[in-house]
Chains A and B, each alone.
Chain A
Amino acid sequence: MASEEHSVAPPKMPRVGLFVTCLVDLFRPSIGFAAVKLLEDAGCSVVVPSAQTCCGQPAYNSGDRKDARGVARTVLRAFRGLDYVVAPSGSCAGMIREHYPKLFAGEPEEAEAEALASRTWELISFLADVMKVERVECHWPARATYHDSCSGLRELGIRQQPRQLLGSVEGLELVEMAEAEVCCGFGGTFCVKYPEISDSIVSKKAENIENSGAELLMAGDLGCLMNMAGKLQRRGSRVEVRHVAEVLAGQQEEPAIGEPAKQVAK
């Protein structure tokens, strides 16, 4: 049986473990492949541990610390011995960076959790801040707008990094929507526990997106993207929704979130 851990680049490059995140793994693998491409282009050797599942946030935010720790232990185990752990999500990276140390405070794994936290990055900020990537080689003609997902913005300070990299995409015109920094109403389990309130929040977000005049919406978290795409599509809006990594990696052949695959031969 083939080992599912695989180095794609020479070992002297930083060894980066990709924390795929449960949503990307199950709903939109193309974001994972975009992340791999961007990391490799930046000179990293990418490893994808197969024993990863989820960061544990659903349990943590539901008040279930014990189960959250249980799930988080799978992350601790799966990502041992790597230089960095990178996730295409501010929310999951924020969970590991900001909350694992608190979750394991006073537990035997406390030191390990702290070490993991200090090695963990959200994808775009890792590219910009650690790998010092300043531009990408890609062409994507569109008028686009970027939504600042909450955890990335407020827990990890991700704001100008994606805008900077998007600024290097040929043909991409970036316009700012009103209230780009306001929550989209997803909130993990919040959107199922309080669907009406979530709807009110995402409706305002959809209005702001439409009013920006953009034809492409991007963000760094798939949960938020699914929420906003679902609302835009229900409203009959034609705005395409994609993860920022997919755009930076130039994955144009991939259908936008919530759109059917094109029925054409390769």
Chain B
Amino acid sequence: MQSTSHAFKQNAHRALHDPMLQKAMGHVRSGFIDKRVQAAARLPEFDQLRDQAKAIKDHTLAHLDHYLERYEAKVLEMGGKVHWCATAEEAREAVLSICRSLDARTVTKGKSMLSEEIALNEHLEANGIEPVETDLGEYIIQLRKEPPSHIIAPAVHVNKEQVEADFRRVHKNLPPERSLSEAAQLVDEARQVLRQRYLEADVGITGANFLIAETGTSVIVTNEGNGDLTQTLPKAHIVVASLEKVVPTLEDCATILRVLARSATGQEFSSYTTFSTGPRRPEDPDGPEEYHVILLDNGRSSMLGTEFQDMLRCIRCGACMNHCPVYHAVGGHSYGWVYPGPMGAVLTPSLIGVEEAGHLPNASTFCGRCEAVCPMRIPLPKMMRHWREREFEQHQAPAKARLAIEAWAFVAKRPRLYRWATSLLIGALGRAGRRRGRFRELPLAGGWTAHRDFPAPSGRSFQARWAEQQRRGRASR
């Protein structure tokens, strides 16, 4: 996917002036948050489980090569195949060659952020293979030719009315008199259309929430059951997963699953949690004939051992964006690439470079709500600050901002100079603002006063008054 992260400000400007989007984002603000709080409250050991989940991932990341090798051996033993891919391009080619070997014309797809990351759909289309998204949200944005705007609710930026219009535009057999004003009617309509597509598909592609080293299993969690049909009906099942999805044991997977849905949607468990181990065995009633895992690095291994390693604990629950005031304001597309919100602000610069995505870790108030809710206790603000430090060190921060900080720091390091300079400044501001108590406009503070008044200082600093008070107190003694 072509990044527009460098144009974050312009993207955000557009988003802030898009009334449809603003309306849709209102639902994010109200929908996810209370449900998560309630789910956490119902489970007294929730915070303890978070610690356990974190420890599991930390341990796995410390021994990643070991667990990946064990995982591969197990997949082979169960009759599957693992394709190690270093880059997005290698992964796309690996998928394509499997599809070609089966003469595939259409592939169905379960929801996968990694497939967005490697722009798999575009690649398949360019090679004459039609990808069909089967997750309702993904299906909607595929019709709209848009990227997802949320990692678990890809079409969260779209309103019901827009979906109805899209269905009427694309679904040729849809009678105009049929009502689609209710969400349930839209779901029904999508189901009917997709049912046919499942049967036609030659290959089913899913992502993975976990890869289990102990058993060679890939795990997906969904609420629609679409993933099951996607992976059991076609001849071949391809799992696209990145390295850090691996966990040692089934037990470990179960522990993390207990915090995943609660953090994501406030459910105790997703409606479907599907475990896939190898292709169909002779005694199985159904299942694919071939089982492939595309095991992709795409920049992750270079995060190991750096200040960004903790980010590899991420289980893509979406809680950080659900609680992010900046995400609520600008929506997912403003971030300009696959991963939005706080997790995107840390991950995107790691994957596509801080030169391109430098705005993302800067566009945060450091309010800390993301870290407070992250089930894997990822210190997201701290890592955003690390990006700012890298930018500053490498002189990538905007020159004006850099100069302002350095000039300010020069003064703030020298208390006497600071007193003198600030007293001049606030003296002048205090005199100018005395009558109204605030400014509607202020030179050099246009960013502030464009939207709000600026409270005027009273004119003399605390220190000056305090010193005077102390002198007086002493004189009168």
Contact = CB atoms under 8 A, between A and B. Distances in A.
Contact of A195 (B328, B368, B447): B447
A52 B117 CA distance: 49
A230 B455 contact: yes
Size class of the B contact interface (CB-based, 8 Å): 35 or more
Interface string A248-266: 0000000101111100000
B367 A70 contact: no
A190 B448 contact: no
B82 interface: no
B451 A231 contact: yes
A229 B391 CA distance: 33
B405 A58 contact: yes
Contacts of B436: 260
Instruction: Please classify the interface of chain A as helix (H, G, I), strand (E, B), loop, or mixed, using the class held by over half of its residues.
Output: helix
Contacts of A118: none
Interface in B366-421: 366-369, 371-372, 385, 387-393, 397, 401-402, 405-406, 408-409, 411-413, 415, 418
A20 B364 CA distance: 26
Contact of A26 (B426, B447, B470): B426
Given A26-B461, A64-B409, A234 B453 contact: yes
Instruction: Please classify the interface of chain B as helix (H, G, I), strand (E, B), loop, or mixed, using the class held by over half of its residues.
Output: helix
A173 interface: no
Most chain B Cβ neighbours within 10 Å, of A58, A65, A68, A195? A195
B131 to A, nearest CB: 34
Most chain A Cβ neighbours within 10 Å, of B365, B393, B411, B470? B365
B14 to A, nearest CB: 11
A195 B451 contact: yes
Nearest to B359: A194
Most chain A Cβ neighbours within 10 Å, of B408, B409, B456, B471? B409
Contact of A257 (B411, B422, B455): B455
Contact of A151 (B368, B418, B461, B462): B368
B178 interface: no
Interface string A201-239: 110100000000000000000000011011101100000
A150 B401 contact: no
B450 interface: yes
A53 B437 contact: no
Interface string B445-477: 101101111111110111101110011011000
Contacts of A183: 325, 365, 367, 369
Nearest to A32: B462
14 contacts: A22-B412, A28-B455, A29-B460, A64-B392, A64-B402, A64-B406, A150-B365, A183-B365, A194-B12, A200-B329, A200-B330, A227-B452, A230-B438, A234-B453
Given A63-B387, A194-B12, 20 more contacts: A4-B470, A25-B462, A32-B462, A53-B411, A56-B412, A60-B385, A62-B401, A63-B393, A70-B413, A74-B415, A78-B415, A183-B367, A185-B365, A191-B447, A191-B448, A197-B16, A197-B326, A200-B330, A233-B453, A258-B437
The 9 A-B residue pairs whose C-beta atoms are closest, nearest first, are: A187-B365, A63-B388, A230-B452, A63-B392, A67-B409, A183-B367, A260-B437, A195-B447, A29-B462
Interface of B: 9, 12-13, 16, 325-326, 328-330, 362-369, 371-372, 385, 387-393, 397, 401-402, 405-406, 408-409, 411-413, 415, 418, 422, 425-426, 434-438, 440, 445, 447-448, 450-458, 460-463, 465-467, 470-471, 473-474
Interface of A: 2, 4, 6, 20, 22, 24-30, 32-33, 48, 50-54, 56, 58-65, 67-68, 70-71, 73-74, 78, 150-151, 154-155, 181-183, 185-202, 204, 226-227, 229-231, 233-234, 255, 257-261
